[in-house]
Structure 1
Amino acid sequence: MGKKAAAASDLAEAIGAFTHDPLGHALFVYPWGQGPLAGMTGPRRWQRAVLDEIGAHLADPATRHTPLRLARASGHGIGKSALVAMIVKWALDTCPDTRVLVTANTESQLDTKTAPEIAKWAQMALTAPWFAQTRRALASTAPGRGPSWRADLVTWSEHNTEAFAGLHNMGRRIVLIFDEASGIADKVWEVALGALTDADTELIWLAFGNPTQNTGAFRECFAKHRNLWRTAQIDARTVEGVNTRYLDELVAAYGADSDVVRVRVRGQFPSSSSMQFIPQDLAEAARQRAIPAGLPTDPVIFGVDCARFGDDESVLAIRSGRDARSRAWKSWRGVDAMQLAGDIALEAQRHRPDAIFVDAGNVGAAVVDRLRQLLGEMPVIEVWFGAKGREAELEPGVSVPTANKRAEMWTRMRAWLGQGAVPDSDRLRDDLIGPTYSFAADDTRVQLEKKPDMKRRGLPSPDWADALACTFAEAVGPRAVPAWLEPAVHPDDGAGRYGELG
């Protein structure tokens, strides 16, 4: 036997010793303290606890062939995807013909978070050559074994659950992993139960994620079905290597008992079934507040949310400083882009806005083009709701990252509502309090509920609130004022009179 073959044989024998020891496998196969793992001596404490729990279940002959169902609800950034990757690699390396199935709450989470993390850890392992990587799979490189010895990352649909219904591997090992499990439909969980029926098989079902929903199958792991699942809820502030400064800012901004802190920091389920982005009392206060005194230099800003036809409305919101009430808003239903642009141009001639921000989706791009033709040098700026979001101030001195432009604008609007005045309108109030919020999967970026998802809940598109949000798309400089209102140029002569105008 050549040296290369001997080394491969020795490695296979060493790996075989970790069949029921996933923690030992993780410590053995990865280059801890080097490269991407510099400064790290092994998995984090909570990750070690999970790996040890899997190992103890499999090492005991009395439990080895009974299903292990393990769920962890946690705050943000504790290394869930890294643990998923370590478990996938251990499961494949240490049991021939293992089948692993991984899914996540969304296709985006699967493709941009879970899959890259699994690929990264698979490449770092001593056993990297044992499995070939594709975008959504790890398959054995042993001749003829790829179809039966593999891990697959699959998207789910509650109307198409064949991948979960057909997961069987009698006499071997099955590992089923739900990443960001709160967002996976109950029907998928129900169908996945069929994979737990094989006899004499190592059956491991793991569910990880932020506890974003107070209902659903993931929540029931910790409630009605807690006798079937081994569960724990992990406060992210207790985990080593986590950005505790950001977590402390969330606590300061939202409050220790708020749903966002419960979900993103403490690993607890929200107190209500959904997380409302703008509280009703905040919207009501802005509706009832007297118009705050402004400055002559406060810019007048138009925000336009564009709709085509159907139930949605096109809306023009007008704001100057903290006053979004004294100038009448306009709305349209069932008009085309040219008519909408013409009517907005008439309002612009009346109010002389310093900036017009237009939602460029739907017919918005055509409205932007026509307004630029009609209004000449008056600034007309297109707003793409799906564009990359920036940090936005949520509370004085506290900023949060946002998932897209729409979430950024709504975050600024939410902060403004604490001092601003809006029209006394039930429709606007309902629009403001309608959307829920969440966070980009395994991320800190705030994201707002999408309009189609709101409609599925029976709520209308928040056109009025989106129009007001558009007035926060970009900072607008102060407007010019008549020279006689500028004290720095014409100081008071001491008798309450200003100097002569030049």
Structure 2
Amino acid sequence: MTEAAILSPEEQLVEDIAGFTYDPLGYAHYAFPWGEEGGELAHASGPRQWQAEAFQEIGEHLQNPATRYQPLMLARASGHGIGKSAFISMLIKWGMDTCEDCKVVVTANTENQLRTKTWPEIIKWSNLAITKDWFSTTATAMYSNDPGHDKRWRADAIPWSEHNTEAFAGLHNERKRIIVIFDEASNIADLVWEVAEGALTDEDTEIVWVAFGNPTRNTGRFRECFRKYRHRWKCKQIDSRTVEGTNKEQLQKWVEDYGEDSDFVKVRVRGIFPDASENQFIPSGLTGPAVGRVITEAQVAHAATVIGVDPSHQGKDPAVIYLRKGLHCRKLGEYPRTTDDVWFAKVIADFEDLHQADAVFIDYGYGTGLKSVGDNWGRAWTLIQFGGGTSDPEMANKRGEMYKSARDALKLGAQLDSQDLADELSAPEYKVRLKDSRKILQDKEEVKELLGRSPNNADAYVLTYAFPVVKRQRIPGQREQQGKAITEYDPYA
């Protein structure tokens, strides 16, 4: 070999790393100091088995020209301690090292998780790598030291919010590489998932989207990766007891204390979605089977007909009207927000007359104008304050009381008319108020951020449980005198 052909150590390193462009497992073995005495990885000879399998899956996808430019989406639900953050960190370092101008976005269930756990682990593994001098790291970013590339060749920690989706909406990197990381993905809002999907449209681009976490919630997009969207996601559920390096003694104590089939063990050990999220008030195990359940008219002929109205006067949230008759329900309509109380009151009155409703309950928040119009027409509509008092000793307010009544009805076999309604009913979690041990549900804004939409369907539906309603006796040909008055009023005549 001539002197000119001899590569410097740095040039040799660049050539070696380039050889792992489509081989993340080979890169992981090469780039990190496994088994090095006195080092942080002295105890290990390489990635754990599940990590190696995931790296192989990514490598096989990219090595195949037929799949290379199709988005690869990996979802892993697992118990505690399996090394999710280590895998994420190695994946990011491989992606950055082996593709010029690679773009990475990392988010997590909370900003605290992202700042104090996920990102520090990424920095740690970056510093362990043989290529640690190739990139600079800060508290929120990793970027190339190659002059002129620091804005394009980078990884960023982005806290998610339904009001801060720009970083995901702008995640494009055509003909290069994109890596999207969702850590502790169960509690990332559906809207963020939807916006992130916009990054999957770039042509001739290597795209890897990884969603990992403990399966703490049995609703939401992470859950649906393993169910509704399983045809698009490559999913695995990992039992912590099968993974090298986990604390088997502690895991076994949990199994003995709580039971193999308990939700606690399912989430923290087995990597299985629970029957009910830890603090879920209405379990998905109740709402799921209720969707599509058939309740015939004959079965509810004896029951009162109740209408619930959730108005909307601001933002993009729609107004929703629901009808319930015993265990049967159906959505009567959804309308863009409006300040025209007369028009919307006419819509409600028409439904009341058409279905011979025995009661109409309207959310107090934006319903006062509707109530006033209805009073002028002789309608006996009732305003309900979600934050108002309750006689139920278990719940902290009227909202909780109504959700509890809906839950009780589902236990009796109530039917739900859509998956959207089911998801919204199961979304709120609860906490126990210290001063009186009553349960209080997450407020509407928190649920809205989690779902990526306002739970107007659920609120309109639970309004039908505001108070017990008795079916009124109606005499054919006789106009109603109690509860409401028939009116021929046309607001636009």
Deviation at 1:39, TM superposition (A): 1.7
**Residue 16 of structure 1 is aligned with which of 18, 22, 30?**
18
- Residue in 1 that maps onto 2:74: 70
Q: How far apart are the structure 1 equivalents of 2:252 and 2:280? A: 21
Output the amino acid matched with 2:14.
A
Three-state SS of the structure 2 residue aligned to 1:103 is strand
Q: Distance in 1 between matches of 2:121 and 2:429?
A: 33
1:7 alignment partner in structure 2: 9
Give the 3 Å change call, closer, same or farther, for CA 199–464 of structure 1 in structure 2: same
2:43 and 2:228 mapped to 1: Cα distance?
A: 41
Q: Determine the C-alpha separation between the residues in 2 that align with 1:38 and 1:76.
A: 22
- Find the counterpart in structure 2 of residue 226 from structure 1: 230
Q: Paired residue for 1:176?
A: 180
Deviations 1:160-202 (A, max 9, x none): 2000000000000000010000010000000000000000000
User: Following TM superposition, by how much is the alpha carbon of 1:429 offset from its aligned partner in structure 2, in angstroms?
Assistant: 8.3
Separation of aligned partners in 1, 2:427 and 2:276: 20
Alignment of 1:39-438 (within 5 A): 39-275=43-279, 427=393
User: 2: distance between equivalents of 1:91 and 1:276?
Assistant: 37
**What is the rounded CA distance, in whole Å, between the counterparts of 2:431 and 2:32 in structure 1?**
50
What is the CA–CA distance in structure 2 between the aligned matches of 1:93 and 1:52, rounded to whole Å? 17
Deviations 1:240-298 (A, max 9, x none): 11001111111111111111100000000011244469x9xxxxxxxxxxxxxxxxxxx
Aligned residue number for residue 30 of structure 1: 32
Cα offset for 1:455?
A: 12
Q: Distance in 2 between matches of 1:218 and 1:455?
A: 13
Separation in 1 of the partners of 2:280 and 2:109? Answer: 20
Q: Which amino acid aligns with 1:188?
A: V
- Contact 1:259–1:275 (CA<8 Å) still a contact in 2? no
Query: Separation in 2 of the partners of 1:43 and 1:117?
Result: 15
Cα distance in structure 2, aligned partners of 1:142 and 1:33: 31
Q: Taking structure 1 as reference, are residues 153 and 4 closer, same or farther at Cα in structure 2, changes over 3 Å only?
A: farther
Q: Which of 463, 466, 479 is matched with 2:435 structurally?
A: 463
Amino acid at match of 1:139: Y
* Secondary structure at 2:11 match in 1: helix
SS class of match (2:143): strand
Residues 357-409 of structure 1 show CA distances to partners (whole Å, capped at 9, x for unaligned) of xxxxxxxxxxxxxxxxxxxxxxxxxxxxxxxxxxxxxxxxxxxxxxxxxxxxx
Secondary structure of the residue aligned to 1:47 is helix
**What is the CA–CA distance in structure 2 between the aligned matches of 1:216 and 1:7, rounded to whole Å?**
49
Q: Which secondary structure does the structure 2 equivalent of 1:463 belong to?
A: coil
Equivalent position amino acid for 1:111 in 2: R
% identity of equivalent residues: 57
The 2-side partners of 1:268 and 1:200 are apart by: 35
SS, match of residue 249 in structure 1: helix
1:85-123 CA-partner distances (Å, limit 9, x unpaired)? 000000000000000111000111111111111001000
Distance 2:97 2:138 in 1: 17
* Letter of the 1:113 counterpart: K
SS of the residue corresponding to residue 113 of structure 1 reads: helix
Following the alignment from structure 1 to structure 2, what is the Cα–Cα distance between the partners of residues 73 and 455?
19
Secondary structure of the 1:97 match is: coil
SS in structure 2 opposite 1:84?
helix
SS at structure 2 position matched to 1:64:
coil
What is the identity, as a one-letter code, of the residue corresponding to 1:186? D
Identify unmatched segments of 5+ residues in structure 1. 280-424, 435-453, 467-502
CA–CA distance in structure 2, aligned partners of residues 83 and 27 of structure 1: 12
SS of structure 2 residue aligned to 1:132 = strand
Opposite residue 54 of structure 1, the aligned amino acid is: I
Q: Quick one: distance in 2 between partners of 1:152 and 1:66? A: 23
How many Å apart are 1:459 and its aligned residue?
A: 7.3
| Mapped partners of 1:231, 1:15: distance in 2 | 29
Change (3 A) 1:43 1:455: closer
Q: Deviations over 1:330-357 (max 9, x none)?
A: xxxxxxxxxxxxxxxxxxxxxxxxxxxx
Cα distance in 1 between the residues matched to 2:265 and 2:160: 29
> Equivalent residue of 1:465, what SS?
coil
Mapped contact 2:279–2:429 kept (Cα < 8 A): no
Q: How many aligned positions are there?
A: 300
Residue ranges of structure 2 left out of the alignment (5+ in a row): 284-390, 401-425, 439-493
Distance in 2 of aligned mates of 1:189 and 1:100? 15
Asked if the contact 1:455/1:461 (under 8 Å) is kept, the reply is no
Residue 9 of structure 1 aligns with an amino acid whose one-letter code is E
Instruction: Give the residue type in structure 1 aligned to 2:203.
Output: A
Q: Normalising by the residue count of structure 2, what TM-score does the alignment of the two structures yield?
A: 0.58
Compute the displacement of 1:32 (Å): 0.3
Per the alignment, in what secondary structure is the counterpart of residue 43 of structure 1? coil
Q: Are residues 148 and 121 of structure 1, via their aligned partners in 2, closer, same or farther at CA, if it must alter by over 3 Å?
A: same
The CA deviation string for residues 402-425 of structure 1, in whole angstroms up to 9 with x for no partner, is: xxxxxxxxxxxxxxxxxxxxxxx9
SS in 2 for 1:41: coil
CA contact (8 A) 1:427 1:464 kept: no
Instruction: Letter of the 2:264 partner, please give it.
Output: V
Provide, for residues 466-494 of structure 1, a one-character-per-residue CA deviation record: whole Å limited to 9, x for no partner.
9xxxxxxxxxxxxxxxxxxxxxxxxxxxx
1:171–1:199 contact (8 Å) kept in structure 2: yes
How far apart are residue 464 of structure 1 and its match? Answer: 1.6
- Amino acid corresponding to residue 108 of structure 1 in structure 2: N
